[in-house]
Chains A and B, each alone.
Chain A
Amino acid sequence: MPYSANAELTEHWDVYKRPNGEEWLTITTEIVDPLYLREPRLVALPFKKEPNGAKWDPTPCSATW
Chain B
Amino acid sequence: MANDTLNPAGPPSPRPGRLNLGASIVVVALSAVPLVAQVDLAGSWARRGQTDNSYSREPVDLMGMPLSEDGRAKALSYDIASLSATERQCQMYTPFYAFTGPFGLQITSEPDPITQKLVAWKIAGWIDRDVTMIWMDGRPRPSKYAPHSHGGFTSGEWDGEALTAVNTHFKLGDIKRHRGMSSDRATLTYRFNRHGNILTLTGILEDPVYLAEPYVLTESFRLDTANTLFPLTACEPIEELPHLHENPALVPHYLPGQNPFMNEATERYNIPLEAVLGGPETMYPEYRKKIKDKYVLPPPCTQGCGGPPPAPPAPPAPTGRGAAPPR
Contacts of A44 in B (CB 8 A): 51, 200, 202, 218-220
Give residues 11-65 of A contacting B (CB, 8 Å). Answer: 11-16, 18, 24, 26, 28, 30, 34-35, 40-46, 48, 55, 65
Closest residue of A by beta carbon distance from B16? A5
- Count, A-B residue pairs, CB within 8 A: 112
Contacts of A42 in B (CB 8 A): 48, 50-51, 198, 220, 222
How distant is the Cα of A12 from the Cα of B51 in the complex, in angstroms? 15
A45 adjacent to B7 (CB under 8 Å)? no
A65 adjacent to B292 (CB under 8 Å)? yes
B30 adjacent to A16 (CB under 8 Å)? no
Contacts of B200 in A (CB 8 A): 12, 14, 26, 28, 44
How distant is the Cα of A17 from the Cα of B220 in the complex, in angstroms? 21
Contacts of A28 in B (CB 8 A): 193, 195, 198, 200, 218, 220
Is B143 an interface residue, CB under 8 A from the partner?
no
Contacts of A55 in B (CB 8 A): 286
A8 adjacent to B3 (CB under 8 Å)? no
How distant is the Cα of A48 from the Cα of B280 in the complex, in angstroms? 14
Interface of A is mostly: strand
Contacts of B292 in A (CB 8 A): 65
Contacts of B7 in A (CB 8 A): 6, 34
With A5-B13, A6-B7, A34-B7 known as contacts, the answer to whether A43 contacts B28 (CB < 8 A) is: no
A14 adjacent to B193 (CB under 8 Å)? yes
Q: Would you give the shortest CB distance from A23 to chain B, in whole angstroms?
A: 10
How distant is the Cα of A15 from the Cα of B295 in the complex, in angstroms? 36
Q: Of A7, A34, A44, which is in contact with the most chain B CB atoms at under 10 Å from its CB? A: A44
B26 adjacent to A10 (CB under 8 Å)? yes
A16 adjacent to B32 (CB under 8 Å)? yes
B28 adjacent to A11 (CB under 8 Å)? yes
Contacts of B217 in A (CB 8 A): 46
Contacts of B48 in A (CB 8 A): 41-42
How distant is the Cα of A24 from the Cα of B25 in the complex, in angstroms? 25
Q: Would you give the shortest CB distance from A9 to chain B, in whole angstroms?
A: 5
A12 adjacent to B31 (CB under 8 Å)? yes
A9 adjacent to B25 (CB under 8 Å)? yes
Contacts of A46 in B (CB 8 A): 202, 216-218
Excluding A5-B14, A6-B22, 17 further A-B contacts by CB distance (< 8 Å) are A3-B21, A6-B10, A6-B13, A6-B23, A8-B24, A8-B25, A11-B26, A12-B193, A12-B198, A14-B193, A16-B32, A24-B216, A28-B200, A34-B7, A42-B198, A46-B216, A48-B216
Q: Give 7 pairs: A residue, B residue, CB < 8 Å, sorted on A.
A: A3-B21, A5-B22, A7-B21, A16-B162, A24-B204, A44-B202, A46-B202
| Smallest CB-CB A-B distances: 9 pairs | A5-B22, A44-B218, A42-B220, A15-B32, A5-B13, A28-B200, A12-B195, A42-B48, A44-B220
